[in-house]
């Protein structure tokens, strides 16, 4: 399998190094995110924070901004906290000691195994979604791969594979730390490129001779498919309030989903989709505020299918607007206890802050609209007026 990996592997930027810091960042970014999406994020991150020390010195806001769009922001926060611990306890040098690695925030068994094997060539097992599938097929395991006995068996099998690689080292190119590194990366690559969930390309597989799932004749039945939890639909509506060239944004408090990130005022599913002003809270009617649709963003988080409609509401200078967080709640009916501060910002200043994913997309749409309208020289639409 290692020979196949050396010959056929994709040239990915984090595969050109054995720097444990660079490998750590790539492994965390790759969790639930596709390789093509991760590449530009990883490259930008390594330019912004080239070392553990550089990352530890940076503000949390800068770290969240660099992560903006990847989602699951607790991962970025954990990386930042871990970098500070590495500087405090290890002078910014990544430790080789398994317990020290496992003690860092956000580093679970998979990430620890990936760093230890890929950077230090230690015989540490890995088991992510792709490797779970490959290993299950190799041993024709048709049990529950997520249950405790199944996990135990699959981890033990992955460990036996990497132990065997350690016992029988084979020549690796210098950019690979050794045969354990090569074996684990081969398992990941095999899962990503050959042993796919459906229609695995067994005729191209370097281990088909020893694969029990293939010998069985129907490898796709391994492992047993997960039961899908039913998805819950959530509809939200956000409004970009704009006045005198500034937009109104708030920062979510720490300790909740997307804590520390910025967003626009958002209502729950009580507000109907695609509302006219009549469907907004009374504040809009009282103040004769017009809103126009900007963009609808759909995304999924675990079992929630979320749809957020963003509108832009133009306020003239005389319109009374919430002067404080509690009055924001009173006026608009949005929950203000989830914010710790709110501000009126120019678009260019708002773009420097880290926003929750959907809100970052709305902000980009707004900026795109602004430059488009500016290029066309239109003056009879409200947007260029508010940004002037």
The contact set with ligand SF4 (CB under 6 A) reads 134, 137-138, 194-195, 200, 202, 205, 207-208, 211, 213-214, 219
Give the separation between CA 230 and CA 223, rounded to whole angstroms: 21
Count Cβ neighbours within 10 Å for each residue of 186-199 and write b for 16 or more, e otherwise: bbbbbbbebbeeee
How near is the Cβ of 80 to ligand SF4 at its closest, in Å?
37
Query: Among residues 219 and 265, whose Cβ is nearest to ligand SF4?
Result: 219
Give the separation between CA 305 and CA 318, rounded to whole angstroms: 39
Across-strand partners of 342? Answer: 250
Q: Note the residue count of the chain.
A: 388
Both tokens of residue 179? Answer: 């045969």
CB count within 10 Å of CB 92 equals: 18
How near is the Cβ of 153 to ligand SF4 at its closest, in Å?
17
Both tokens of residue 365? Answer: 């749409």
Query: Among residues 87 and 202, whose Cβ is nearest to ligand SF4?
Result: 202
How near is the Cβ of 130 to ligand SF4 at its closest, in Å?
11
CB within 8 A of 56, min separation 6: which ones? 80, 83, 84, 86, 87, 92
Q: Does 320 qualify as catalytic in the annotation?
A: no
Pairing of strands 232-243, 262-263: unpaired
Query: Among residues 147 and 210, whose Cβ is nearest to ligand SF4?
Result: 210
How near is the Cβ of 140 to ligand SF4 at its closest, in Å?
9
How near is the Cβ of 209 to ligand SF4 at its closest, in Å?
8
How near is the Cβ of 207 to ligand SF4 at its closest, in Å?
5
Query: Among residues 189 and 331, whose Cβ is nearest to ligand SF4?
Result: 189
Query: Among residues 128 and 307, whose Cβ is nearest to ligand SF4?
Result: 128
Both tokens of residue 153? Answer: 């068996």
Give the separation between CA 1 and CA 184, rounded to whole angstroms: 10
Count Cβ neighbours within 10 Å for each residue of 358-386 and write b for 16 or more, e otherwise: bbbbbbebbeebbeebeeeeeeeeebbeb
CB within 8 A of 224, min separation 6: which ones? 142, 143, 144, 145
- 243 contacts 385 by C-beta, under 8 angstroms: no
How near is the Cβ of 203 to ligand SF4 at its closest, in Å?
8
Query: Among residues 52 and 138, whose Cβ is nearest to ligand SF4?
Result: 138
Give the separation between CA 51 and CA 17, rounded to whole angstroms: 13
Query: Among residues 213 and 354, whose Cβ is nearest to ligand SF4?
Result: 213
- 356 contacts 265 by C-beta, under 8 angstroms: no
Count Cβ neighbours within 10 Å for each residue of 19-29 and write b for 16 or more, e otherwise: bbbbbbbbbbb
For residue 223, say if its preceding peptide bond is cis, omega within 30 degrees of 0: yes
Candidate list 27, 68, 189, 263, residue with the active-site label: 27
Give me the active site residues, please: 27
């Amino acid at each position: 399998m290692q020979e196949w990996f050396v010959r056929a592997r994709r040239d990915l930027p984090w595969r050109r190094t054995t720097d444990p810091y660079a490998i750590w960042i790539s492994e965390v970014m790759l969790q639930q995110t596709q390789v093509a999406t991760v590449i530009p994020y990883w490259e930008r991150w390594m330019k912004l924070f080239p070392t553990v020390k550089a990352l530890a010195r940076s503000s949390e806001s800068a770290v969240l901004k660099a992560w903006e769009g990847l989602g699951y922001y607790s991962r970025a926060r954990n990386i930042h906290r871990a970098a500070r611990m590495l500087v405090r306890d290890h002078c910014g040098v990544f430790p080789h000691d398994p317990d020290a690695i496992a003690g860092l925030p956000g580093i679970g068994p998979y990430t620890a195994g990936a760093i230890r094997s890929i950077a230090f060539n230690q015989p540490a097992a890995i088991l992510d979604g792709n490797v779970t599938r490959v290993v299950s097929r190799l041993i024709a395991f048709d049990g529950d791969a997520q249950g405790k006995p199944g996990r135990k068996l699959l981890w033990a099998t992955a460990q036996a594979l990497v132990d065997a690689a350690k016992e029988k080292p084979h020549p690796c190119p210098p950019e690979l730390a050794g045969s354990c590194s090569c074996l684990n990366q081969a398992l990941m690559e095999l899962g990503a490129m050959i042993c796919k969930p459906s229609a695995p390309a067994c005729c191209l597989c370097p281990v088909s001779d020893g694969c029990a799932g293939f010998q069985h004749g129907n490898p796709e039945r391994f492992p047993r498919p997960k039961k899908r939890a039913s998805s819950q639909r959530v509809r939200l509506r956000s409004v970009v309030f704009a006045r005198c060239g500034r937009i109104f944004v708030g920062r979510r408090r720490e300790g909740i989903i997307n804590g520390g990130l910025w967003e626009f005022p958002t209502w729950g599913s009580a507000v109907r989709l695609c509302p006219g002003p009549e469907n907004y809270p009374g504040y809009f009617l009282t103040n004769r505020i017009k809103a126009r649709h900007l963009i609808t963003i759909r995304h999924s988080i675990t079992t929630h299918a979320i749809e957020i409609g963003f509108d832009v509401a133009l306020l003239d200078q005389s319109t009374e607007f919430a002067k404080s967080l509690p009055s924001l709640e009173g006026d608009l009916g949005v929950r203000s206890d989830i914010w710790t501060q709110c501000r009126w910002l120019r678009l260019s200043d708002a773009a420097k802050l880290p926003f929750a994913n959907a809100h970052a997309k709305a902000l980009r749409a707004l900026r795109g609209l602004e430059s488009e309208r500016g290029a066309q020289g239109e003056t009879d639409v409200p947007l260029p007026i508010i940004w002037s």
